[in-house]
Amino acid sequence: MIVFDLRCGTGHVFEAWFGSGAAYDEQRAAGQVSCPLCGDLSVTKAAMAPAVPAKGNSGPPPAMVKAFMSRLAAEQAKALKDSTWVGGKFPEKARAMHAGEEAHAVIHGQATLAEAQALVDEGVPVAPLPLPVVPPEQKN
């Protein structure tokens, strides 16, 4: 596996992992590499600094990171406890509640970046979740 810093045509810089440099080239040529922030397909490799490890203990200890992520996951689970999963119907449901066509309820689901931006532009109150949510039908 190899990680590349990529830049889209609008200037967003992001990381992506590929099986090899050739795999990146193939996927880009096939239009399968897009910016996760705006969906732009005009993606190129950005300048990268070499991965040189820092001296000493410059980062947080792994146990501290694990504890933080566990606490964040617990807080998110608590916030979603009384929320209803609506899956890909999230934009439609949120819009209907905002328009008064459906009763207000606490919901969570999936939306593309474009769908979420459209909701925000329309004044529909939405917020991203800090951690990914596994859809109920995909849980073990």
- Residue 106 contacts residue 82 (beta carbons within 8 Å): yes
Predicted pLDDT of residue 133: 79
Predicted confidence band of residue 128 (pLDDT cuts 50, 70, 90): confident
Q: Average of pLDDT values for 30-45?
A: 91
Is 0.85 topped by the overall pTM? no
Identify the residue with better confidence: 21 or 1. Answer: 21
Q: Average of pLDDT values for 28-47?
A: 90
H or E segment and range at residue 86: strand 84-87
Predicted pLDDT of residue 97: 96
- Residue 16 contacts residue 3 (beta carbons within 8 Å): yes
| pLDDT tens readout for residues 51-90 | 666 666 666 678 888 888 889 889 988 888 899 999 999 9
